[in-house]
A and B are shown apart, each in its own frame.
Chain A
Amino acid sequence: MKPLHELTVAQIQQQLIEKKFSSREITQHYLNRIDTLNIDYNCFITVDTNGALTAADQADQAIAEGNSTPLLGVPIAHKDIFCTEGLTTTCGSKMLANFVSPYDATVVSKMKTAGAVMLGKTNMDEFAMGSSNETSFFGPVKNPWNLETVPGGSSGGSAAAVAAQLAPAATGTDTGGSIRQPAALCGITGIKPTYGRVSRYGMIAFASSLDQAGPMTKTAEDAAILLNSMSGLDYKDSTSLDTAVPDFTATLDESLAGLKIGIPKEYFDQRLDTAMADAVQASLAELEKLGAKLVDIELPNSALSVPAYYVIAPAEASSNLSRFDGVRYGYRCNEPEDLEDLYTRTRSEGFGEEVKRRILVGTYALSAGYYDAYYRKAQQIRRLIKDDFVRAFEQVDIIAGPTAPSTAFKFGAKTADPVAMYLEDIYTIAVNLAGLPAMSLPAGQLDNMPIGMQLVGNYFAEHKLLNVAHQFQLATQWHTPTPTSLKG
């Protein structure tokens, strides 16, 4: 039998029901691995040993009674952006280093109801602002494929935890690429659903019109299983969609014959490393062998996505993060002289450099005299970007290209140049502005480092993306290699 940490969620589900092992056994197995290996990767900020074992025992009891829920007894990890009742939720920030939420996020409560066992909370860029995990107050996460390189961000802890087999699956959030880019850099599968598919309630807000949660897993099949439990209307989130949620696993086996895949020429421009482009082209050729047809398309406004995003996201962040004032929860500075000093010192001491920078950019863009030039203009560009996709989806079923312009880069390589770091998300950001679903899956390697392929779907077409990714993973092995650091 395979070691327990090599099993997928689908295999764990099956073998728990067949009583090949108990939830307590596999949960303890993962807790032991975290205990030994987390020091190498820094994936977890908080590990909930007692909570996990209690939940595992309850799951074993339920299994013994013949009950069955979709994730019953399956260990998972949550990004530390999701509020968890009674357990610290830091959002990677000093501001919330001791924050214990009085309630669960909807994603957390839904997965609890589905029977999942939470192992702990994963590390992330502070307030999800970053593409390398280097902005975390709790130190950077290391990429299991090369400990000198970043895991991507902001859901880098979740991506590295799945890659290092410290959790079979994890949750992430994606505002500009924060599920897909770390999934690509760590060689795992991740999906950002259509905006509104998964509730944002209890998910600490960064840019509310862009934020969306999704699963990070070893396989597309596992992503479908997790997404089934995460999705659905929630009245506690005013932008949650009142749209039927299909069983995402039901269409995984559909044939790709006749599927039209759009290849945007803008995603294979000079910014993309040629060896990366070759690897993605080779994976697209695999999809052709499975019956798909490649169609050249244009997304002419895609170069404007990063500029528009760096107005909209900081503007929304500056508003969302105004709640951190040292009064009701979170960090408070010592001995404030007056109310102004309380606010200013709490925020200056509690936020890190990148968070402060984005608050300043957002505040500036929204300040008197600049609103039309920045915020309104960015919202107009946002419509042009959406219209590009709408036109493309009149011609094709899905769109494919690279997830990131390069493989994982070294620590410190982009920290001195915020704009270079922002361009890391050049292929992922447009999707958030348009609110579309998209995923990243392993599609090759360059110098032993994973390469991600991005698939973008039309609104509500997560099932199609998962179907294509699953068929690709049945035909190829790029999702199966073990990271170099685990072999020693």
Chain B
Amino acid sequence: MSINPEQVANTAKLAKLKINADEATEVAERITAILDLVDQMQAVDTKQVEPMANALDAVQRLRIDQANPSENAQARRAAFQTIAPATDQGLYLVPKVID
């Protein structure tokens, strides 16, 4: 299956990526080559095959949904905020969304 530059642009929009117009053709060609590789799967009849997400057919272990108060919660919060590009009084700053 081939993908054209317009489909690449639409997919890039979904993925929040920008593909420059001068790159679009080359990107489309390379992704088409990957999709050609992937399409080898279509030759196999898998109607009776159950999809497999985990090799050991394990399911995710869930924990009880309860808060785990930590003694140094404030310090941990500060540690996580110091690595953010922009924060103010404990909040993460982003450009204005609503005027």
Bound Cα distance from A380 to B38, whole angstroms: 13
Instruction: Contact check, B53 vs A360: say whether CB atoms are below 8 A apart.
Output: no
Bound Cα distance from A310 to B37, whole angstroms: 8
A100-B83, A209-B53, A307-B37 known; A341+B95 contact, CB < 8 A: yes
Most chain B CB within 10 A, of A301, A380, A417, A419, is at A380
Interchain nearest-CB distance for B7 vs A (Å): 8
Bound Cα distance from A337 to B18, whole angstroms: 15
A307-B40, A342-B94, A380-B46 known; A367+B11 contact, CB < 8 A: yes
Prevailing SS type, chain B contact patch: loop
Interchain nearest-CB distance for A323 vs B (Å): 12
Bound Cα distance from A310 to B13, whole angstroms: 21
Contacts of A219 in B (CB 8 A): none
Closest to B75 in A: A102
Instruction: Contact check, A436 vs B55: say whether CB atoms are below 8 A apart.
Output: yes
B21 at the interface (CB under 8 A from A): no
Bound Cα distance from A328 to B84, whole angstroms: 5
A294 at the interface (CB under 8 A from B): no
Residues A253-289 near B (CB distance < 8 A)? none
A374-B38, A383-B49 known; A419+B33 contact, CB < 8 A: yes
Closest to A340 in B: B16
Contacts of B73 in A (CB 8 A): none
Prevailing SS type, chain A contact patch: helix
Bound Cα distance from A100 to B81, whole angstroms: 11
> How many chain B residues touch A (Cβ–Cβ < 8 Å)?
50
Contacts of A327 in B (CB 8 A): 84-85, 92, 94
A102-B80, A357-B30 known; A376+B51 contact, CB < 8 A: yes
A342-B95, A419-B33 known; A239+B58 contact, CB < 8 A: yes
Instruction: Contact check, B31 vs A422: say whether CB atoms are below 8 A apart.
Output: no
Instruction: Contact check, B61 vs A419: say whether CB atoms are below 8 A apart.
Output: no
Q: Which of A22-30, A171-179, A344-352, A399-407 contacts B (4 or more CB under 8 A)?
A: A344-352
Instruction: Contact check, B17 vs A360: say whether CB atoms are below 8 A apart.
Output: yes
Contacts of B40 in A (CB 8 A): 303-304, 307
Closest to B1 in A: A373
Contacts of B80 in A (CB 8 A): 102, 328-329
A311 at the interface (CB under 8 A from B): yes
Instruction: Contact check, A318 vs B15: say whether CB atoms are below 8 A apart.
Output: yes
Q: Which of B44, B54, B63, B96 contacts A435 (CB 8 A)?
A: B54
A304-B41, A328-B84, A347-B17 known; A357+B27 contact, CB < 8 A: yes
Chain A residues within 8 Å of B, Cβ to Cβ: 99-102, 195-196, 209, 235, 238-242, 301, 303-304, 306-308, 310-311, 318, 322, 325-332, 336-345, 347-348, 351, 356-357, 359-361, 363-365, 367, 373-374, 376-384, 386, 417-419, 422, 433-436, 459
Q: What would 17 A/B residue contacts be, using CB atoms closer than 8 Å?
A: A102-B80, A239-B58, A239-B60, A239-B61, A240-B61, A303-B40, A326-B85, A328-B83, A351-B17, A357-B34, A363-B14, A365-B38, A374-B38, A380-B52, A384-B46, A422-B34, A435-B55
